[in-house]
Amino acid sequence: MLGFLGPRGTHSERPARFFVQHGPLAGQEARAYASHVRVLDALESGEVQQAVLALENSLEGSVLVTLDRLASAPLQICAEVTQPIRHAAFAVAPIDFLQVTEVRSHPQALAQCRENLHRIFPAAAHIDMESTAGAIAYAAHAGDPRVVCVGALQTGVDAGLCVLQEDIQDVADNVTRFGLITTSDRRVEIPADVDARYKTSVLMHLGDDHPGALYEVLRVFATNGVNLSRLESRPTRRGLGSYHFYIDLLGRPRDRGVAAALDEIATIPGFTMRMLGSYPCFALA
């Protein structure tokens, strides 16, 4: 069983379908949940064995609820898929845009369309929903054309809503990374295509805070020719000024440069490092 952010018609459903149609997950059932937190809870409880969750958006950065749970729970990333994200705005009927009073969607979708939404619907309040598909269902049920929702074009059309504006995202090249996530004792080996690149994610805590602490780690990656695709700090929740770092690097631990870098970092006093996964990366058109 594989969990994803629902209801049906969210942007998470397509990468979920990708994984249940390929490799060892082929034929599995995909179950929709009402929020990212509920998907993660279902994964940790064993209700589902895998989950597809958004990791990062090219406009708004990391999806923090996923990132923080990777740090606090025994979870790992088994594969990644990226897909373009296109948003449309809908209402139950055509309306003067100046009369729109609220725009509803998932917080990430609202953030990815923030500038255009303020320009097109200047009088509207932005209201967070658990998912884009949930916002579409809400607008369809409310029956008030002053309530606009933002989500996937086909989902809104299927709900019988009127398309007010297509491609409402602030930047045309809007892409989200989704991770196939499992618990540490249920690793799934996803076979990569010949051309699939590999990425390795680690969580690192620098230990004592001293000048050049982060540089010590970055220097090791640089001298071993390892390219980093992401470096992000998050609070450890152990007190103000205490951080750990999420690092994505291109390559696998068995690659010579990556192996040498990870081995050297492990010898630096005060550093702790946890592997979050080494996995193939796919892209949907």
Domains of the chain, each with CATH number or no CATH = 2-85+174-183 (3.40.190.10), 88-165 (3.40.190.10), 197-277 (3.30.70.260)
Q: What is the dihedral of CA 179, 184, 188, 193, to 10 degrees?
A: 50
pLDDT in tens, 3-48: 999 998 999 999 999 999 887 888 889 999 999 999 999 999 999 9
Task: Examine the pLDDT at 270 and tell me if it is beyond 90.
Answer: no
What pLDDT is recorded for position 188? 82
- 127-to-60, 153, 225, 238 alpha-carbon distances in Å: 17, 19, 45, 32
Token readout for 241 is 């000024």
Token readout for 52 is 């597809």
Burial class of residue 209 in the structure, from the number of CB atoms within 10 Å of its CB (0-12 exposed, 13-18 middle, 19+ buried): exposed
Q: How many CB atoms lie within 10 A of CB 4?
A: 28
Q: What is the band of 192 on the pLDDT scale with cuts at 50, 70, 90?
A: confident
Question: Which of helix, strand or coil describes residue 84?
Answer: strand
What pLDDT is recorded for position 36? 93
pTM: 0.90
